Structure 1
Amino acid sequence: MRTSTRARATSLAAALALLLTACGGDSGGEEAGDGGDSASGTRTVQVGIIPVSDVAILHLGQEQGFFAERGIELEFNLGQGGAALVPAVVTGDYQFGFSGIVSILQAREQGLPVTAIAPTSWSNGEEGQHINALMASDPAIQDAGDLEGKTVALNILNSQVETLARNSVEVAGGNPDNVNFVEMSLPDAVTALGSNQIQSFVCGEPFCTLAQDAGARVVADNWLDLVPEGIGLSGVYFSTTDQIEADPALFADIQAAIYESLDYSAAHPDEWRAQIPEYTEIDPALVERLTMPLFKSDLEPEEYEAAPTKAVEYEILGEVPTVEEFFWEPES
């Protein structure tokens, strides 16, 4: 194999409501690989991403020709969070998307035919090398336990990031039910933290480094709090069983190109970093200081299960399917 006032399911439910309305008639979406073929036989594949460093592997893979050699050209579409990308993938407007694991498992529990096609990135298990962290500027906030009674921004509520934040508060001896979680985009959260509109937010790179440059500090490394002696899978690239069944050969090629991109990025970190300014407005000089997640093309079940299992404890998720049930694999 190669995330309040707690607004339960607000973000995903809203997205699903729009999706179900769209699915009442012709969605206008294309079958996987249809309508995007050029005269040369190249298949144009629409992919939904968010502006975080993890997805640089796709840009690098495209630059290196891993997709082109399989007759694929990726077109990138930006969104705020993985849950918000689900409708576009389900209607077929996008062939696949990027998301935290929990949002896709929630969509499955709502009856949507989504499935993982490849991993995105892992925590690296090293102190000071956070891929998600609670950031704060107030010197009175020394750890996540001090966030009780405070406002903490998440890019998606009722999600994997909320799971991570709640766990860190609990690990530090606080009660996460006493934290006011609000939804806010990562770029807006950096600004809001500086103006004290919020007191903390869960960052992902490059926004961790941007917040630190604005005077914020890491008060909790979310993944080390969750997996103190190991690593955890942070996200997946996902599609739908309908699209996969319509063109399994296309998705086998997409999957193989993603795996090749993961391994190449791990071996060529400077080339991976060079991609980030291409789809963000980050100063290239800042990119050199970003924390690189762990990339690899193999997955152990416990790495996948770490975040979803904790999400079940917080009633953000109902159950955790096995890795074999969740990750699609092409027939041999």
Structure 2
Amino acid sequence: MHRILAAATVVILMIGTAACTQRDDKQTAAAPTRVTVGVIPIIDVAPIYLGKKKGFFASRGIDLVLSPEQGGAAIVEGVLGGKYQFGFSNVTSLMAAQAGGAPLKAVAAGVSSNGRPGRDFSAIVVADNSPIRSARELGGKSVAVNTLKNLGDTTVRQSVRRAGGRAGNLRFQAMPFPDMPGALQRGQVDAAWVVEPTLSAVLTQGGRVLASNFVDTAPDLTVALYFTSQGTITAKSTLVGGFTEAIRESLRYAASHPGEVRDVVGTYTQINDTVRIAMILPTWPEDINRPSIERVAALGQMDGIFTKPPALDQLLP
């Protein structure tokens, strides 16, 4: 009898231990992975904020943390340095880093121009009292951009070229997008390259659009991409796959819910209701427009931004 009881006790303990182990395994499997993404607080990244809000990342086991930066170059450095697992950056920053040997890989489209001259989400603007009436007149003038030697330089120069002006002697001045409306009003700069919601902030203050620089650069320009490091792709392929799926779902959702886009932008930028309602929306296609990126690459080489031609086959998915 004692032997039977002892054996039964052992069996019960084994079953209990196995059950606890199964519960622990389930808890471990269910524990979300904390993922930090570098973003720029502009309308471009509205989909990822919506995706977090709607649970698209959580449903794939991702605890998403969004960290604002001033520009794409800083986000590239953050991904390469391990500060961020993923990042959002314009195509020029990514191509410049890749051409310099950085092991980066895009995983999904980010944002695209809507292709409408005068009504795109990006524009070159001047103050209401500015004597400048055309991008052709920007030669020798100061132009605010968020970062130097980047997408702003290239696309602004292209608008000046298309208008028949001299693009080689523009004087670019770096500053955060939210500071640009005030800088224009104070006469600190002659013009500024802005994207939404800063564009609507300028326009509601009486500013004027000189040119739609993205439209002038390439049809349906793919402006930015979500990306990671080659090391992350190799070591964490399941995570990369889940993140990519969540981003693509977020892009689809944003494209079909413009009202929610306007609402969510107000949660990570300081804008009033007038600006929120007036914002011109970009497009968020899931597919990357490679010819448009090739165009930006060619212009960047002409402007001396790239040390050597970017290898797009290595950078793009």
* TM above 0.5: yes
For residues 279 and 300 of structure 1, the distance between their equivalents in structure 2, rounded to whole angstroms, comes to 28
**Is 1:211 the counterpart of 2:202 in the alignment?**
yes
Q: Which runs of 5+ in 1 are unaligned?
A: 1-36
Aligned to 2:49: 59
SS in 1 for 2:189: coil
2:239 pairs with one of 250, 260, 283: 250
Q: CA deviation at 1:305?
A: 2.2
Distance between the aligned counterparts of 1:136 and 1:120, measured in 2?
A: 27
Partner of residue 264, structure 2: 275
**Matching residue's letter, 1:208:** L
Do residues 142 (structure 1) and 128 (structure 2) align? no
- The C-alpha deviation readout for 1:272-307, integer Å capped at 9, x for no partner, is 211101111112342121111011112232133232
SS in 2 for 1:178: coil
Amino acid at match of 1:257: A
Q: Which amino acid aligns with 1:212?
A: L
Deviations 1:245-286 (A, max 9, x none): 110110111111101110111111111211101111112342
Distance 2:45 2:230 in 1: 22
What residue identity is the alignment partner of 1:79? E
User: Contact (CA 8 Å) 1:92, 1:243: kept in 2 or not?
Assistant: no
SS of aligned partner of 2:266:
helix
Alignment of 1:159-170 (within 5 A): 159-170=150-161
Distance in 1, Cα, partners of 2:166 & 2:255: 37
Give, in whole Å, the separation in 2 of the partners of 1:300 and 1:177.
27
| CA–CA separation in structure 1 for the residues paired with 2:209 and 2:274 | 21
RMSD of aligned Cα (Å): 1.7
Q: In 2, are the aligned partners of 1:274 and 1:284 still within 8 Å (CA)?
A: no
1:187 matched to 2:178? The reply is yes
Task: Supply the AA of the counterpart residue of 1:129.
Answer: R
CA distance in structure 1 between the aligned counterparts of 2:90 and 2:138, rounded to whole angstroms: 23
Q: TM-score, normalised by structure 1?
A: 0.83
Match among 209, 214, 230 for residue 241 of structure 1: 230
- Alpha-carbon distance, 1:149 to partner: 2.1
2:275 — aligned with what? 286
Query: Which residue matches 2:60?
Result: 70
In structure 1, C-alpha distance between the alignment counterparts of 2:182 and 2:274, rounded to whole Å? 20
In 2, Cα distance between equivalents of 1:325 and 1:202: 30
1:309, 1:320 within 8 Å by CA — same for their partners in 2? no
Aligned to 1:301: 290
Aligned residues: 289
Report the counterpart of residue 116 of structure 1 in structure 2: 106
The residue matched to 1:115 in structure 2 has which SS?
strand
**What secondary structure sits across from 1:298 in the alignment?**
coil
1:151 is the counterpart of 2:142: yes
Taking structure 1 as reference, are residues 286 and 302 closer, same or farther at Cα in structure 2, changes over 3 Å only? same
% same residue: 34
Which amino acid is the alignment partner of residue 271 of structure 2?
I
Rounded to whole Å, the distance in 2 between the matches of 1:110 and 1:320 is 8
1:5 is aligned to none
| Candidates 54, 64, 85, aligned match of 1:95 | 85
Distance apart, 1:38 and its partner CA:
8.0
Per the alignment, residue 176 of structure 1 pairs with 167
